[in-house]
A and B are shown apart, each in its own frame.
Chain A
Amino acid sequence: MGAAFYIAAAIAILSTAMVITRYNIMHALLYLIVSLLSVAVIFYIYGAPFMAALEVIIYAGAIMVLMIFFVMMLNLGQQSAGDERHWLTPRVWIGPALLCLFLLAELVYLIMQPPAPPAGEIVMVDPKAVGKSLFGPYILAVELAGMLLMAGIVGAYHLGRQKKKITHRFLERATQ
């Protein structure tokens, strides 16, 4: 384990911590991109360069950009930040945080358990092997993933369309 890993990991953890503590959504998203990039570095360290590339391109690139555009489109900036500040009181977060901390402790404990994996070297899995198995035994899953994306596109289009405003009957009270 080189220092690279620890640096990347530290950046990932810190930036994620920033993500979850920001009031402004825009800031959070930008920190998330940093986190994703550091995770991409870790992927690279773990011998998955192709995945690191995908992480950068798709996650940090496409998905995050989508979200940023979305936030910008709705113009959420200041007002939602105020809401967030209002909502995020210690009373709200202290309980779940402790619970999750406990969960994390358990997880770490279990991960550290023997039978520990043999202290092996990091094994490089090259993209070719990934491609082979993707289009070999997992071809059906790939097709399904394709279908999923297709459905995602159609669904997003359908839902995102600006329709004539129809208030659902269960929401009437909320809108009044």
Chain B
Amino acid sequence: MITSTTAGLVLAGILFTMGLVSMLIRRNLIFMLVSVEVMLNAAGLAFIVAASRWGQPEGQVMFMFILAMAAAEVSVGLALILQLYHQLKTLDSDEASKMNG
């Protein structure tokens, strides 16, 4: 049953899940950001696999958008973490969660 498509998708799934696990177990904000990157990348992989499966460019287009989004996200995210770090002197997300509105 393993075709190229399923193999690619399963890989994407594995990578995504690993990112997810990391996201869940980490308290360090930068690690969480890294986890997000891993998951985004996995999602991109799924798109590429799909594109190759159907022979359509849309999957790759989507990957480009994900890329752009990731770039923007990382820059803003890092800036936010920087601010938080200045404020809290820590990168612990649980500390930041005290920021109840």
Say which residue of A71, A108, A123, A124 sits within 8 Å of B30 (CB atoms): A71
Residues of B48-96 whose CB lies within 8 A of A: 48-49, 51-61, 63-65, 67-76, 78-83, 85-89, 91-92, 95
| A13 to B68 CA separation, bound complex (whole angstroms) | 24
Chain B residues near A148 (CB-CB < 8 A) = 68-69, 72
Chain A residues near B34 (CB-CB < 8 A) = 19, 25, 28-29, 32, 67
* Min C-beta distance of A118 to chain B, whole Å: 8
Interface size on B, residues (CB 8 A): 79
Residues of B23-37 whose CB lies within 8 A of A: 24-28, 30-31, 33-35, 37
Interface size on A, residues (CB 8 A): 91
Q: Is the pair B88, A175 in contact by a Cβ cutoff of 8 Å?
A: yes
| A30 to B47 CA separation, bound complex (whole angstroms) | 25
Say which residue of B22, B81, B88 sits within 8 Å of A174 (CB atoms): B88
| A47 to B41 CA separation, bound complex (whole angstroms) | 17
Q: Is the pair A20, B21 in contact by a Cβ cutoff of 8 Å?
A: yes
Say which residue of B52, B60, B92 sits within 8 Å of A122 (CB atoms): B52
Chain B residues near A20 (CB-CB < 8 A) = 18-19, 21-22, 25-26, 35, 38
- Chain A residues with CB under 8 Å of chain B are 1, 5, 9, 12-13, 16-17, 19-20, 25, 28-29, 32, 35-36, 39, 42-43, 46-48, 50-51, 54-55, 58-59, 62-63, 66-67, 70-71, 74, 76, 80, 83-84, 87-88, 92-93, 96-97, 99-101, 103-104, 107-108, 111-112, 116-117, 119-125, 129-130, 132-134, 138, 141, 145-146, 148-149, 151-153, 155-160, 162, 165, 167-168, 170-171, 173-175
